[in-house]
Amino acid sequence: MSAPTLLSLRDIKKSFGAVQVLLGVDLDIKAGSVTALVGDNGAGKSTLIKCIAGIYQADSGQMSWEGQPVKVANPKAASAVGIEFVYQDLALCDNLDVVQNMFLGRERKRGFLLDHNAMEVAARDVLTGLSVTTVKSVRQPVASLSGGQRQSIAVAKAVMWNSKLVVLDEPTAALGVAQTKQVLALVRRLAERGLGVLLISHNLEDVLSVSDSIAVLRLGRLVTQVQRDEVDSQQLVELITTGRLRGELASDALRQAGAAAQSSTSGIEN
Amino acid sequence: MLPVLVGLVILAVIFQALNGNFLTPGNLVNLMVQGAVYMLLAMGMVFVLLIGEVDLSIGFIGGVAGVIVATLIYGDAGNPWYTGIACGLLAGTAIGIFHGLIITIVRLPSFVVTLAGLLAWNGVMLIILGNGGTVPIQDPVIVSLANGVMPSTIGWIIAACLIVLFAADNLIADRNRRRNGNAVRAPLMTYVRIGLVAALAIAIVGLCSVNRGNFAPVTGVPWIVLILLFFVITWTVLLNRTAFGTYIYAIGGNAEAARRAGIAVGRARVLVFGISGLMGAVAGIIYASRLRSVSTNLDGGTLVLYSIAAAVIGGTSLFGGRGKAVHAILGGLVIAMIDNGMGLLGLSAATRYVVTGIVLLIAVSVDALARRGGANAGLS
């Protein structure tokens, strides 16, 4: 509760023609914590993050960044604000090496020519800082890396540009057990370094093990945003599928339980 | 790059065994000159292939450039050679950029746009040539681009400069990498690299210094070797050491990732087609220079197919993202060797086509197998 709120969304609505995808979503993301966004297929998760990324424009609603109203017109504007995205398909070039990928589009130069040395040093520093130790050489092509390593590189690429909020879309979807652990540990380290993390995932086990707060999206509405220790796996499934907890509206049930999360989601009921 | 080097050695051994004249200094120098047009075209093609596109038009872009140069400098009242060349190069680059713009703005496949270019620029070339069908070139400077030689002494000086530059560049780069704690290749490897380049430079100039004339003595390094060197160095630096070069590889590897990284993919694509147009024009001018004329016989279609073959034989991938400027030199050399060797054996053009086709197939197969093996080993 003490950490400052980085990004807050109020009443975000988005429809594509006659199809209303987001019917007024409120969401708060705090610095130094991992906020998970969960929901069934079609709940509107992808649309919501695309609105944050500036790929889509919300039809209505307010978005504020560090307390100030902000408008994200395009992906470049998002990264200028300090929001970086790691998409499911990673957006890495297999034929380039780790350093080239991390600096792609923002190369360091000396005159006309690339400063390979400085970039290599910086890339290594970032990876070391994030305790990504499994990548042997930053000069190997990304094609030769494992899924977990690739994910780590994609995350490192996202955080090395003074970003304050990193949005991770299904970062563990294609990974094995050990690699999932690796990536989740990396996600925790990001939060420990003071970054805000928005984690979109279908894997509730991952969500429960790594996040501080969990936002549940259902049919275009935010059902609730709860603290991690207020729910267990069973309740989370119930929230995602029915939008209710023990047969009551989620927000009411949690209010009765005296949930602290209320203060941040009070916008829902009025 | 190893397969093509092995291929070159095998070809040399076979042709030498069949005809003792193949590995004579005169013929080897001839080989470099004969291969020059393919090499220059293939350099343009490497760029286009790197971003996963193809340019079928560069042969006739060369034809148009050649005919522009020949026409501009023709006759007593003709323009000086540099005006002609400048106009030819500009025209080639402009045509390439024009193709790139259509491909990018209208979002058409490069195959179709440049196929249209192949036909249309062939027509333009014929229109400029007019009824005569041939424009001779007499300007000594332009003729000597492909036919002239520099004295051996100058050749030695240039070779020495290049060896020193290459050695210094490698050693300084290694030292800087070590100082920054970056991965460095073993010092021995660097010395071997420098040694190989030095040996190659010395061999080429040495070869050119031997008298290869049948009647009057002929020695010296052909100017065309210097032209090739200039382009291969320029393009290598562009690809390896500039942001634009990285973008070219990135677009070929994953265009969507490049776009998300904020790279202006469309602009880069247009520039790449500009480069291929430029190289088409350079090749066309050299072609005209070698024949001392431009005529309706110029077959831009075959030239293009040979240049694609040269790039691929040299090791550039048809699917984008993998390739180097030097591949054009190696592949062009293979093609020239087959042409030249089969010619020495008195074999027909028909046989030459068959053999070139087979070599191309082998090259692509070796590449595909090597890549699959590499992928299995996690190395590709």
Report pLDDT digits (tens) over A198-230. Answer: 999 888 888 898 999 999 988 888 888 888 888
The pLDDT value recorded for residue A270 is 38
Q: What is the pLDDT of residues B147-178, one digit of tens each?
A: 999 998 999 999 999 999 999 999 999 999 99
The pLDDT value recorded for residue A116 is 92
Cβ-count burial B82-109 (b if 16+ within 10 Å, e if not): eebbebbbebbbebbbbbbbbbbeeeee
Looking at chain B, which residue has its C-alpha nearest residue A110? B242
Closest to B146 measured CA to CA, from B278, B10, B35, B303? B35
Residue B375 CA to residue B368 CA, distance in Å, equals 10
Say whether pLDDT at A163 is over 90: no
Looking at chain B, which residue has its C-alpha nearest residue A137? B183
The pLDDT value recorded for residue B380 is 36
Q: Can you tell me which residue has the tokens 């929901």?
A: A39
Six-digit token string for B290: 């070698």
**Chain A positions in Cβ-Cβ contact with residue B242 (cut-off 8 Å):** 112-114
Closest to A88 measured CA to CA, from A15, A135, A155? A155
The beta-carbon neighbor of B262 closest among A89, A105, A114 is: A105
Q: Which region among A123-132, A133-142, A237-246, B29-38 has the lowest average model confidence (pLDDT)? A: A237-246
Provide the mean pLDDT of chain B.
92
Residue A191 CA to residue B142 CA, distance in Å, equals 67
Provide the mean pLDDT of chain A.
84
Average pLDDT (A137-159) is: 87
Q: Can you tell me which residue has the tokens 């990498």?
A: B177
Give the three-state DSSP class for A139: coil
The pLDDT value recorded for residue B85 is 97
Give the three-state DSSP class for B11: helix
Q: Are A25 and A198 in contact (CB under 8 A)?
A: no
The pLDDT value recorded for residue B61 is 97
Residue A93 to residue B321, Cβ atoms within 8 A: yes
Average pLDDT (A35-50) is: 88
CB atoms within 10 A of CB B164: 12
Residue B365 CA to residue B172 CA, distance in Å, equals 38
Mode of pairing for the β-strands spanning A68-69 and A60-65? antiparallel
The pLDDT value recorded for residue B360 is 84
**Chain B positions in Cβ-Cβ contact with residue A93 (cut-off 8 Å):** 249-250, 253-254, 257-258, 321
Average pLDDT (A176-198) is: 88
Percent of chain A with pLDDT over 70: 90
The pLDDT value recorded for residue A253 is 56
**Chain B positions in Cβ-Cβ contact with residue A74 (cut-off 8 Å):** none
Average pLDDT (B121-135) is: 91
Closest to B8 measured CA to CA, from B348, B376, B326? B326
Q: Are A39 and A197 in contact (CB under 8 A)?
A: no
Average pLDDT (B125-133) is: 88
User: CA B22, B27, B32: angle at the middle one, nearest 5?
Assistant: 120
Q: Which region among B1-10, B62-71, B202-211 has the lowest average model confidence (pLDDT)? A: B1-10
Nearest CA-CA distance, residue B7 and chain A, Å: 25
Edge-first strand listing for the sheet containing A196-200: A83-86, A165-169, A196-200, A34-38, A213-218, A221-227
Q: Which region among A37-41, B39-43, B149-153, B372-376 has the lowest average model confidence (pLDDT)? A: B372-376
Paired strand residues for A169? A200
For chain B, the residues whose C-beta falls within 8 A of a C-beta of chain A are 176-177, 180-183, 237, 241-243, 246-247, 249-250, 252-254, 256-258, 260-263, 321-322, 375, 378-380
The pLDDT value recorded for residue A103 is 93
CATH numbers and ranges of domains, chain A: 5-92+165-265 (3.40.50.300)
Q: What φ, ψ does residue B330 adopt, rounded to 5°? A: -65, -45
Residue B137 CA to residue B291 CA, distance in Å, equals 9
Say whether pLDDT at A266 is over 50: no
The pLDDT value recorded for residue A247 is 60
Q: What is the pLDDT of residues B339-374, one digit of tens each?
A: 899 988 988 888 888 988 898 888 888 777 876 765
Q: What is the pLDDT of residues A66-85, one digit of tens each?
A: 989 988 888 788 888 889 88
Residue A91 to residue B261, Cβ atoms within 8 A: yes
pLDDT band at A242 (very low <50, low <70, confident <90, very high): confident
The pLDDT value recorded for residue B373 is 60
Q: Are A40 and A67 in contact (CB under 8 A)?
A: no
The pLDDT value recorded for residue A264 is 45
Residue B66 CA to residue B52 CA, distance in Å, equals 28
Interface with B, mutate which of A95, A109, A117 (most B CBs under 10 A) = A95
What is the DSSP code string of A181-223?
Answer: HHHHHHHHHHHHTT-EEEEE-S-HHHHHHH-SEEEEEETTEEE
The pLDDT value recorded for residue A269 is 41
Q: Are A31 and A76 in contact (CB under 8 A)?
A: no
Average pLDDT (B44-69) is: 97
Residue B250 to residue A113, Cβ atoms within 8 A: no
What are the percentages of helix, strand and coil residues in chain B, rounded to 5?
Answer: 75, 5, 20
Closest to B329 measured CA to CA, from B35, B113, B78, B104? B35
CA atoms within 13 Å, Cβ hemisphere of A78: 24
Q: Can you tell me which residue has the tokens 């991938």?
A: B317
The pLDDT value recorded for residue B277 is 98
Residue B256 to residue A91, Cβ atoms within 8 A: yes
Q: What φ, ψ does residue A31 adopt, rounded to 5°? A: -70, 150
Q: What is the pLDDT of residues B269-323, one digit of tens each?
A: 999 999 999 999 999 999 999 999 999 989 999 999 999 999 999 999 888 999 9
CATH numbers and ranges of domains, chain B: 2-151+220-373 (1.10.3470)
Say whether pLDDT at B375 is over 80: no
The pLDDT value recorded for residue A256 is 54
Give the three-state DSSP class for A160: coil
Looking at chain B, which residue has its C-alpha nearest residue A113? B242
pLDDT band at B64 (very low <50, low <70, confident <90, very high): very high
Euclidean distance between the first and the last CA atom of chain A, given in angstroms as a whole number: 22
Q: Are B250 and A93 in contact (CB under 8 A)?
A: yes
Distances B114 to A255, B47, B123, B287 between C-alpha atoms, Å? 68, 15, 14, 21
Q: What φ, ψ does residue A259 adopt, rounded to 5°? A: -70, 135
Say whether pLDDT at B239 is over 70: yes
pLDDT band at B108 (very low <50, low <70, confident <90, very high): very high
